[in-house]
Amino acid sequence: MAQENKIIIDTYERAREAYLSRDLSQALYADGEVIMADVLITLHGEDHRMRRRLENRLYRRDVFLHYENDLFPGIIRETLDPHVAAGKAELVSLSHQLMMNLAALTAGVDRPKGTPEETFWLYDYLMIFIEGATLVHYKGDKQAKEAEIRQALAAFEEEFLAPGITRRLGLIEEFKDGRISEAELPQDVLTVLLRNEDRLNLTPQVILREIAFYLLAGAHTSATAFTRTMHHIFQWLDQNPDQRDKIQSPAFIQRCVHETIRLQPSSPVSERWAEKDIQLVAGPAIEKGSRVIIDLIQVNRDKSVFGDDAEAFNPERKLPSSVPEHGLSFGLGMHACIGKDLAAGILSRESSDSESHLNGVVTLAVNSVLADGCRPDPGDPPEMNPSTSRPYFGRYPVIFEKT
């Protein structure tokens, strides 16, 4: 078998060019077909453009503002309150529960009971779907794991998705008959797919995988960003005790979120296949069939763009307006993250603590737990997750104590 040609991209300009090339197609989810076949992020060319155009209808500023101002605060409180009442929590699992409940709302996965038990039940599905998407790294019996994931998908469909589809189809009928207004339809991906105004060929299995993918794309990335931001803020407070007041400003917290996401991208690599021979202006030449690996940790620490202190956490970093504070952690070009503004909001260069400003769910969640007096548990230090070579926290014990 011919050896695979690998090209590593580790500078900012080269990464920008690679993301913008239409001749590079998605390569990250090889082996993850059980969840990822025909979902938005693995489509290419016209198929991708058409699906993205349909789903973009939901990802609008007014919808995000509605989520942020009207829907998310209730879910944040519902998830946090039991932990705050207990006076302590473990941030890795808390953040996954929280972000999953928020992602479920935007994906269109109903949680009719709204109980903690239901959250844990759905959480188990989420964890299996994450394994499915990353099957390429699985060390055990892949076929057995794939069968387990198929079974979980079928059970998720029966328990969560099918009742949600029935409810939405009923509402869509009522809307068509003029009995309810468009504003009364749920604003989520599932409703957009069921209305399918562009008449795309979406089979029930594609809809099932797309919703499972949206659940994991929204929850895991945001949860990781949340725990890492908390860690950076705790460290920053230790080093800057006289500046504690700053963490009362959501605008400052949002800068901490973007700076954390730059330093520690939730998806640290993007991978592409070269569909033809390509010559990037910033280099290098890429032969058809090569695997192109964009190393976001290196790209986002490119000193020529982010300055000599690029390796450091500095939420007050000043960058030219052409460079986003989060670096390229949300990708760019055709597969650029559709949920970026939902997760991290839009950073304003001026003061931005107003109702029409988009903070993003990670900022909202960090704000809430800090306001509840969250700080590291002095008797139980955080631990990294030993089962992966990537720097994920395994446990992050905290206490809630208002001063």
Can you give the binding site for ligand HEM, defined by CB under 6 A? 26, 28, 40-41, 52, 106, 214, 217-218, 221-222, 225, 261, 265-267, 270, 329-331, 335, 337-339, 342-344
Whole-number minimum distance, CB 129 to ligand HEM, in Å?
14
Query: Of 283, 281, 277, 323, nearest to 300 (Cα)?
Result: 323
Residues 6+ apart with CB under 8 A from 369: 80, 230, 398, 400
Whole-number minimum distance, CB 234 to ligand HEM, in Å?
19
Whole-number minimum distance, CB 96 to ligand HEM, in Å?
13
User: By beta-carbon distance, which residue lies closest to ligand HEM?
Assistant: 339
Q: Which CB, 233 or 338, lies closer to ligand HEM?
A: 338
Q: Which CB, 95 or 266, lies closer to ligand HEM?
A: 266
**What number of other Cβ atoms are within 10 A of residue 239's Cβ?**
8
Q: Which CB, 56 or 351, lies closer to ligand HEM?
A: 56
Q: Which CB, 103 or 153, lies closer to ligand HEM?
A: 103
Q: Which CB, 152 or 338, lies closer to ligand HEM?
A: 338
Whole-number minimum distance, CB 179 to ligand HEM, in Å?
30
Q: Which CB, 240 or 388, lies closer to ligand HEM?
A: 388
Q: Which CB, 48 or 375, lies closer to ligand HEM?
A: 48
Whole-number minimum distance, CB 315 to ligand HEM, in Å?
16
Query: Of 213, 224, 37, nearest to 125 (Cα)?
Result: 213
Whole-number minimum distance, CB 266 to ligand HEM, in Å?
4
Whole-number minimum distance, CB 106 to ligand HEM, in Å?
5
Cis peptide bond prior to 378, omega within 30° of 0: no
- Residue showing tokens 């155009």: 53
Q: Which CB, 44 or 145, lies closer to ligand HEM?
A: 44
Whole-number minimum distance, CB 166 to ligand HEM, in Å?
23
